[in-house]
Amino acid sequence: MKSVCGYCNLFYVVRREDGMGGTEGAEKRAAAGSDDAAAAREERTRGRGGTPSDSDTTGRTRGTEHLTVERVGATLVLTLDRPEAKNALSLPMLVGLHDGWIAADEDDDIRSIVLTGAGGAFCAGMDLKALAGDGMAGEQYRDRLRDDPDLHWKAMLRHHRPRKPVIAAVEGYCVAGGTEILQGTDIRVAGESAVFGLFEVRRGLFPIGGSTVRLARQIPRTHALEMLLTGRPYPAAEAARIGLIGHVVPDGTALEKALEIAAQINACGPLAVEAVKASVHESAGMTEEEGLKAELARGCPIFDTADAKEGSRAFAEKRPPVYRRT
């Protein structure tokens, strides 16, 4: 299979055993605890064999050995679950992410998505040991990549935008590919000790997950270029000051805050929410005149929905609305 760059080639050089990796702080692994973490994850996923599992009574639905999927009310929670490697990217993780985004798109009962990480980290980015030649874990997923060579980019939200709002709940490291995935999310919450940054240039690499295009559209250009060109870490407080994230909360509470925001979104009209998100994104590259025209095309049909009538009726009757996506 032909690929356009070394980063893409990484996803097609597959080995069977799980490798350690990550970026910057994620490179420094303490051997103690790693085996226990791996064993715990193996126990959680035993019987999956790298394929989706059925729902169980805990609220978990489908996932892979490196990506946990759970329903919390109308919110789908996707958890990057490779804590012994600071949730560095792996094929099982990418396949799970891809499938999670698609599942959320296709399930009308899901109104929002929360993306978070296990073990006190969000994502440490690419597995550098795999890039150095060891290959990436996940032999059983090779066929998925053959069927869809774009799967890894969709998983990282480079080539896919979920129609439901995506809220990032960040603890610990969110660097390199972690910060790139972050840019594909809509609302961002971080624990006060979280660390962000695009470290690629320090390794002689290119942040090809979309950052040279997206970052300067999301934060002021001078801050975007400083982040891209220095490769330095950004603490949560500074990331909030430059606009990369929206909320800084006490460590260990990012998921709680994200679910609180998700619940507020879930209480709104789902057709309206999805149309608003679509309008914001599709008008971003338009002139103001073009954007206003596109907004009418998106917004006017919402006023003719049963949900719009229900919202007005519920307000008049002083009761919570019951939206049915009609």
Catalytic residues: 180, 200
The helix (run of H) or strand (run of E) holding residue 34 is helix 34-45
Does residue 193 contact residue 246 with C-beta atoms inside 8 Å?
A: no
Assign 3-state DSSP to the chain and report helix, strand, coil percentages, each to 5: 45, 15, 40
Which residues, listed in sequence order, are joined to residue 112 by a DSSP beta bridge? Answer: 75
At CA 215, angle to CA 214 and CA 218, rounded to 5?
90
Does residue 126 contact residue 88 with C-beta atoms inside 8 Å?
A: yes
Burial of 250 (0-12, 13-18, 19+ CB in 10 A): exposed
Candidates 132, 46, 50, 60; CA nearest to 91 is 50
Residue recorded with tokens 């329903």: 71
Question: What tokens does 242 get?
Answer: 């430059």
Between 306-316 and 270-282, two packed helices, what is the crossing angle to 10 degrees? 120
Which residues, listed in sequence order, are joined to residue 72 by a DSSP beta bridge? Answer: 75
Which residues, listed in sequence order, are joined to residue 196 by a DSSP beta bridge? Answer: 174, 234
| Cα torsion through 100, 166, 104, 211, rounded to 10 | -50
Other Cβ atoms closer than 10 A to 49: 9
> Rounded to whole angstroms, what are the CA distances from 131 to 144, 205, 276?
20, 11, 39
Candidates 148, 168, 94; CA nearest to 125 is 94
